[in-house]
Structure 1
């Protein structure tokens, strides 16, 4: 098993697209429809990575990421925003700081891009084994140029 990913997106088609692509690569995938559901299930799921859409009802991706980061039980879990380009503009919050996430992946994305990002953030090689000596402080994948 390559790891467990919690995929959070209000669009069922996108959730299924991400789920299928990651399961084909050996990842276990659990899905949630929005940030509130994510926060309800994250402790039971114990994912190796959480992917969040930016624009969701009830609790958006940015606020969900902030809550995951502020909780000692989940702050260690890598978080990636998987969202449309136009939504990245608000990723830094109202004060313009960097978002509390480890990577940004723009929709539409190539499945191979998604898999590469997930492997890097979960520290897994192509065969599913943890990579020895994987640095935790690497530059986030998928950040827009000139950040």
Structure 2
């Protein structure tokens, strides 16, 4: 049973979202403020979090930072809900680690589509030792979503890891923003490729000790840096 944590203080939205998610067979847990959300998160380990930005006491941005700053919850898919529709607000949410950002009012159909896109990935089995890919001092284990640099573990969000994995699987290819948006997020939004840019920027920052690892190809997209060491075969 897929468990979804809805962090929302508006009773009308709580009822609307819960009704539509339960119709799809999801189990919904509700927290009306940030501290309660963190308690439920650590206790119940939901499969996905729907997080309102404007919350009493601890707001959604602070909750997002705490979720992404905890290694046990860093990879849980997180979708932000907000009445704020400015580009700057979207960018802040994505920079803090949200996987998606939906503005209110939203249609239940769109929300379900976004949730399904986040949950489309198969459950990862970390029991057997996973194979790894390396690129110089950087090494990743696709099955366990682990990344190390010179043996030291680096914490990435789920979407950051998926982007890096795409690059390392096909190191000589240039990927367009539209391709990455479709492949990693599961949908395309015309003119909304800023999501990709924000995550690439965050990824570069976390991998700065092996920079340049991802380079921009003007007018096309991104690829692994061509002047860096080639990866070993798996």
* Aligned alpha-carbon RMSD (Å): 2.8
- 3-12 vs 77-86, greater mean Cα deviation: 77-86
Residue aligning to 2:75? 76
Aligned partner of residue 98 in structure 2, secondary structure:
coil
- Does residue 145 (structure 1) correspond to residue 142 (structure 2)? The answer is no
TM-score, structure 2 normalization:
0.52
TM-superposed deviation, 1:85: 3.3
More helix by share: 2
The TM-score normalised by the length of structure 1 is 0.80
Q: Does residue 109 in structure 1 map to residue 156 in structure 2? A: no
Q: How does 1:45-56 map to 2 (within 5 A)?
A: 45-56=44-55
**Whose RCO is larger (CA < 8 A, sep 6+)?**
1
Cα 1:97–1:8 change in 2 (3 A) is closer
Number of residues of Structure 1 aligned to a counterpart in Structure 2: 137
Which runs of 5 or more structure 2 residues have no equivalent in the other structure?
125-157, 163-183, 195-234
Give the number of the structure whose alpha-carbon radius of gyration is greater: 2
Gaps of 5+ in 1: 125-129
Q: Deviations over 1:27-72 (max 9, x none)?
A: 1100000111101111111100001001111111111011000011
Question: Secondary structure, in 3 states, of the residue corresponding to 2:64?
Answer: helix
Q: Which segments of structure 1 move beyond 3 Å, counting only runs of 4 or more?
A: 85-93, 139-144
Cα shift at 1:139? 3.8
Name the SS of the counterpart of 2:114 in structure 1: helix
Q: Which residue of structure 2 aligns with residue 122 of structure 1?
A: 119
Shift of 1:99: 3.1
Which position in structure 2 is the counterpart of 1:127? none
